[in-house]
Chain A
């Protein structure tokens, strides 16, 4: 009951904020409101007991995407220009789509209905067999990393390809020097070094954020978390350092070749686990053969592929951030 009341409350706020994002033509306002949007969504996921998703949404939605949006905004104009097409066709299309979705929800099962299809299909099997086959307390990790290892491998490659796409757009261009000298610009704008309080407090936080990222990485079998969340947290630590000390120093801490290497290495590690398990007589991504004891093999496989996921996500976030901060110098 409490869940439903809180969810309704938060979802109503979500709709209001979404309309606010659409209505404003000031892009900075839109970025700020989308930060609020992510936080509401994360709180809602949390109320629905989806702790892993809530953690991802909080770190990526409220933290890193705000930074990246502002990086993009620094490269463009501040106000939205109205699109060249008329408003009728988009309005009609989105109303039709919305109508179809609302019509579909009429058939959807009630929230928390034990007879809903999702609770009858494979979910009971996962819940029953996880203690016996994989023996990790967090079933989400077991499903994500082992039962559905193929899907997660696919996700890692999607992230990998997305990174290649973003990099081919942003590129490693040489900064233009027409408006202001690069060094001069750096000294004055690219960092918060002369703001004493943010600098001191921020620098103290960096090691704790990275430590928390490592905890989330290796504790993912037991509590909420795993490679995706950990990767985003560790990248957030590096981004915080780069914001405080400026892009060039951030690129000294984690060079661009290293972050690009991490992106590829993570996906490579994940695939290697699959190939090794084939070589050892199992099927692709069947971790049971990795050790003499099948359950132990599963633990090992999950640990390694989570590390691969973490490396790729960390690398992607840092690479994209560096690309933006380099482009910011104009």
Chain B
């Protein structure tokens, strides 16, 4: 059974590398946001597999915490772009009024 876990964790690591590459080369902001999100998901999976590989499934707690927290960062990014867009529109309007 162990080699299955080992193979899976290698596959997940390779996927993590792909996400890092996408995060580094971009080119758009959305590529990077998706890269971070994907990297977070892969980290959750990686921790889950590793905790079985090392025979300590009680450490799944940690993977659970990661899964819960990942979501918040992405929502913050969403809010950031939303408020930046509105602020830019408002500034453009003000410029036009002058």
Pick the most buried of A33, A43, A179: most chain B CB atoms within 10 A of its CB.
A43
- Give chain A residues whose Cβ lies under 8 Å from the Cβ of B82: 189, 192
**Interface residues as binary, B22-34 with A (CB distance below 8 Å gives 1, 0 otherwise):** 0110100100110
Taking a contact as CB atoms under 8 Å apart, the answer to whether B72 and A43 are in contact is no
Picked from B36, B39, B71, B86, the residue with its CB within 8 Å of the CB of A205 is B71
CB of A224 closer than 8 Å to a CB of B? yes
Interface magnitude class on chain A: 35 or more
Taking a contact as CB atoms under 8 Å apart, the answer to whether A51 and B59 are in contact is yes
Pick the most buried of B47, B50, B69, B70: most chain A CB atoms within 10 A of its CB.
B69
Picked from A13, A39, A74, the residue with its CB within 8 Å of the CB of B40 is A39
Closest CB-CB distance, A24 to chain B, in whole Å?
Answer: 9
- Give chain A residues whose Cβ lies under 8 Å from the Cβ of B65: 55, 58-59, 212, 216, 229, 233
**Interface residues as binary, B42-75 with A (CB distance below 8 Å gives 1, 0 otherwise):** 0100110010011000110110111011111101
Dominant secondary structure of chain B at its interface with chain A: helix
**Interface residues as binary, A58-92 with B (CB distance below 8 Å gives 1, 0 otherwise):** 11001110110011011000000000000000000
- Give chain A residues whose Cβ lies under 8 Å from the Cβ of B73: 35, 62-63, 66-67
CB of A172 closer than 8 Å to a CB of B? no
- Give chain B residues whose Cβ lies under 8 Å from the Cβ of A244: 75
CB of B98 closer than 8 Å to a CB of A? no
Taking a contact as CB atoms under 8 Å apart, the answer to whether A36 and B83 are in contact is no
- Give chain A residues whose Cβ lies under 8 Å from the Cβ of B66: 39, 42, 58, 62
- Give chain A residues whose Cβ lies under 8 Å from the Cβ of B87: 179-180, 189, 330
Taking a contact as CB atoms under 8 Å apart, the answer to whether B79 and A192 are in contact is yes
The total number of A-B Cβ pairs within 8 Å is 158
Taking a contact as CB atoms under 8 Å apart, the answer to whether B84 and A239 are in contact is no
Picked from A20, A191, A236, the residue with its CB within 8 Å of the CB of B24 is A20
CA distance A46 to B63 in the complex (A): 10
Taking a contact as CB atoms under 8 Å apart, the answer to whether A58 and B86 are in contact is no
Taking a contact as CB atoms under 8 Å apart, the answer to whether B83 and A328 are in contact is yes
Taking a contact as CB atoms under 8 Å apart, the answer to whether B76 and A33 are in contact is no
Taking a contact as CB atoms under 8 Å apart, the answer to whether A243 and B43 are in contact is no
CB of B78 closer than 8 Å to a CB of A? yes
Taking a contact as CB atoms under 8 Å apart, the answer to whether A189 and B86 are in contact is yes
- Give chain B residues whose Cβ lies under 8 Å from the Cβ of A224: 59, 61-62
Closest CB-CB distance, B86 to chain A, in whole Å?
Answer: 4
Closest CB-CB distance, A326 to chain B, in whole Å?
Answer: 13
Closest to A78 in B: B84
CB of A279 closer than 8 Å to a CB of B? no
CA distance A29 to B28 in the complex (A): 10
Closest CB-CB distance, B30 to chain A, in whole Å?
Answer: 11
Picked from B40, B61, B75, the residue with its CB within 8 Å of the CB of A243 is B75
Closest CB-CB distance, A74 to chain B, in whole Å?
Answer: 6
Taking a contact as CB atoms under 8 Å apart, the answer to whether B47 and A192 are in contact is no
Taking a contact as CB atoms under 8 Å apart, the answer to whether A46 and B72 are in contact is no
- Give chain A residues whose Cβ lies under 8 Å from the Cβ of B71: 201-202, 205, 240
CB of A208 closer than 8 Å to a CB of B? yes
CB of A185 closer than 8 Å to a CB of B? yes
- Give chain A residues whose Cβ lies under 8 Å from the Cβ of B72: 63-64, 66-67, 236, 239-240, 243
CB of A54 closer than 8 Å to a CB of B? yes
Instruction: List chain A positions with a Cβ less than 8 A from chain B.
Output: 2, 6, 9-10, 13, 16-17, 20, 28-29, 32-33, 35-36, 39-40, 42-43, 46-47, 49, 51, 54-55, 58-59, 62-64, 66-67, 70-71, 73-74, 179-180, 185, 188-192, 195, 198, 201-202, 205, 208-209, 212, 216, 223-225, 229, 233, 236, 239-240, 243-244, 328, 330
Could you name 14 residue pairs across A and B whose Cβ atoms are closer than 8 Å?
Answer: A33-B23, A43-B46, A66-B73, A179-B90, A179-B91, A180-B86, A180-B90, A189-B82, A192-B82, A209-B69, A236-B69, A240-B71, A243-B72, A328-B83
